[in-house]
Structure 1
Amino acid sequence: MIEINLIPDVKRELLRIRMMRNAVISMSILVGIVSIAIVVFCAVVLGGQLAFELKQDSDIKNKYGELSQISDLDKTVTLQQQLGQIDRLHSDKKINSRLLSLISAINPPAPNNVQISMARLNPEEKTITLEGSAVNGFAALEVLKKTLTSTKVKKGNAEGDGVSLASDMKAGETTFGENAEGKKVLRFAFTFTYPDDLFAHSKEAISIITPTSKTNVTDSRLGVPESLFSRSESTEQKKENQ
């Protein structure tokens, strides 16, 4: 079988080049369309952003114009800021007047009662310093200290007995002298740390719970555990029934 090539090499090369040209043109058109679409999209986004910024600027100018018409604007804004802080300041404030109630509550009954001449409250260190005098000497001072360490602070209807009123007690100067009536008294000073609940502002009532019985401060009492000197509930109930 004999085959005859009727298309010369030049003609075949021309057809191949035409096909390449058509492919390049088609690709260029596609790329151009995509580029135009990207440009249009960017223009729309940029135009929308510019329009939004112009609207915001216009609103700001309008609001500024309205505020500028208000007389004493600076005073009004300052007052509003102060009013906004009232609730926070009200919740953070301390009720220091409870110190007077505390002194009255912890003062032991006669003959171990004391006279408090100075009570200093230090909110930063959360300490209270008491200075006073006692006619019954060291016995009254020990009763006062034991009353403090046994007193509890309870918030509202919280469960338990509350938190201890005094901790980290530090003794100050103790001397003997005479009071205005010429009686020999023991002058004392000491400092203790109080809990946060004592002066904290709260909607719930704060209770200061002191010991119900007098404190024994004899040498033997100070040297042994308190449990040896506590009376059982059954013994107290029997005495009450009698």
Structure 2
Amino acid sequence: MIEINLVPDVKQELIKAQRVRATVISFSILIGFVAIGAVTILAIYVFGVQTIRSGIADAAIKDGANKLTSVQDLSKTLTIQHQLTLLSAMHASKNIDSRVFSVLTAIIPPAPNNVQISTLSVDSSTATISLEGQALNSYAAVEVFKKTIEGAQVKFTDNGSDQTVTLASNVSTGSTSYGEDSTGAKVLRFTMQFNYAPELFSPGSTNLSVVVSNNGNATDSYLGIPTSIFVDKAQDLGTGK
């Protein structure tokens, strides 16, 4: 059987191009419908589902807020809970003020120069200890007490290292007056104040002890003599000797 193609080549190319164009247009229309569908679904999710979820969340928040506001003394409860979370840090950083009793045990001289403390206060903001006391041995006992404080040292361990610092600085005696104690005995009443070393009450100072050294001189004659009595020899005028 013999077939004769009566369609010219140009006509065939035109038909082929029309078929390709129709196919492209069909796919374009299909893709357009898919895109429109995707946008529609996304819009429904954003403006529908999300709105519903947001409304549910708002309702839950409002309900929770109403329950909280109905709790009696809520603000006080929250304040206490917040303070409880800070207790550990506060406890770790607080000063160990109870060490002041160890200080008193170490610095009060033995008889006959012993003193009795009636009032004692510790001011951590200025690192100052102030005290009021009385002594049977009058001014001699007060002078011994003062020098004992000046010669005291604090020994402690910090981060595994043994250290020693001077207990007090700026030791000063305030007002003095005579009076009678509860037994009717005549006593010298006095006030005294000094700045203590910050390591004394620090929680970082472990194995702490207060040692009285008096700079190597602990004799009664030294302790009872005011340091203001002895000074360096004055120079001769004009000679420099």
TM range (shorter): 0.5 to 0.7
Deviation at 1:175, TM superposition (A): 1.5
**Is the contact made by 2:123 and 2:129 (CA closer than 8 Å) also made in structure 1?**
yes
Q: Does 1:217 align with 2:223?
A: yes
2:197 corresponds to which residue?
Answer: 195
Q: How high is the TM-score relative to the length of structure 2?
A: 0.57
2:115 corresponds to which residue?
Answer: 114
2:133 corresponds to which residue?
Answer: 132
User: What runs of 5+ residues in structure 2 fail to find an aligned partner?
Assistant: 1-41, 233-241
Aligned residue pairs total 173
Find the residue that maps to 1:180 and give its secondary structure.
coil
Inter-partner Cα distance in structure 2 for 1:63 and 1:95: 49
Deviation at 1:94, TM superposition (A): 2.0
1:145 corresponds to which residue?
Answer: 146
Inter-partner Cα distance in structure 2 for 1:135 and 1:75: 54
Find the residue that maps to 2:101 and give its secondary structure.
helix
**Is the contact made by 1:156 and 1:207 (CA closer than 8 Å) also made in structure 2?**
no
**Is the contact made by 2:199 and 2:205 (CA closer than 8 Å) also made in structure 1?**
no
Per-residue CA distance 1:194-227 (angstroms, 9 max, x = gap): 12222222372322122287342354876269xx
- Residue identity (%): 37
Note the 1:28-67 alignment, pairs <5 A.
64=61
Inter-partner Cα distance in structure 2 for 1:139 and 1:220: 9
Q: How high is the TM-score relative to the length of structure 1?
A: 0.57
Inter-partner Cα distance in structure 1 for 2:226 and 2:206: 41
Deviation at 1:182, TM superposition (A): 3.0
Inter-partner Cα distance in structure 2 for 1:219 and 1:203: 34
Q: Write the letter of the residue equivalent to 1:115.
A: Q
Inter-partner Cα distance in structure 2 for 1:88 and 1:109: 41
Inter-partner Cα distance in structure 2 for 1:141 and 1:100: 19
Find the residue that maps to 2:84 and give its secondary structure.
helix
CA RMSD of aligned residues (A): 3.6
CA distance change for structure 1 residues 78 and 165 in 2, over 3 Å: closer, same or farther? same
Name which of 167, 186, 189 aligns with 2:188. Answer: 186
2:10 corresponds to which residue?
Answer: none
Q: Write the letter of the residue equivalent to 1:214.
A: A
CA distance change for structure 1 residues 144 and 65 in 2, over 3 Å: closer, same or farther? same
Inter-partner Cα distance in structure 2 for 1:197 and 1:206: 9
Inter-partner Cα distance in structure 2 for 1:182 and 1:75: 54
CA distance change for structure 1 residues 79 and 117 in 2, over 3 Å: closer, same or farther? closer
Q: Write the letter of the residue equivalent to 2:223.
A: V
Q: Does 1:101 align with 2:107?
A: no
Note the 1:226-241 alignment, pairs <5 A.
none
Q: Does 1:171 align with 2:177?
A: no
CA distance change for structure 1 residues 139 and 80 in 2, over 3 Å: closer, same or farther? same
User: What runs of 5+ residues in structure 1 fail to find an aligned partner?
Assistant: 1-46, 226-242
**Is the contact made by 2:115 and 2:135 (CA closer than 8 Å) also made in structure 1?**
yes
Q: Write the letter of the residue equivalent to 2:156.
A: K
CA distance change for structure 1 residues 206 and 218 in 2, over 3 Å: closer, same or farther? closer
Deviation at 1:64, TM superposition (A): 4.8
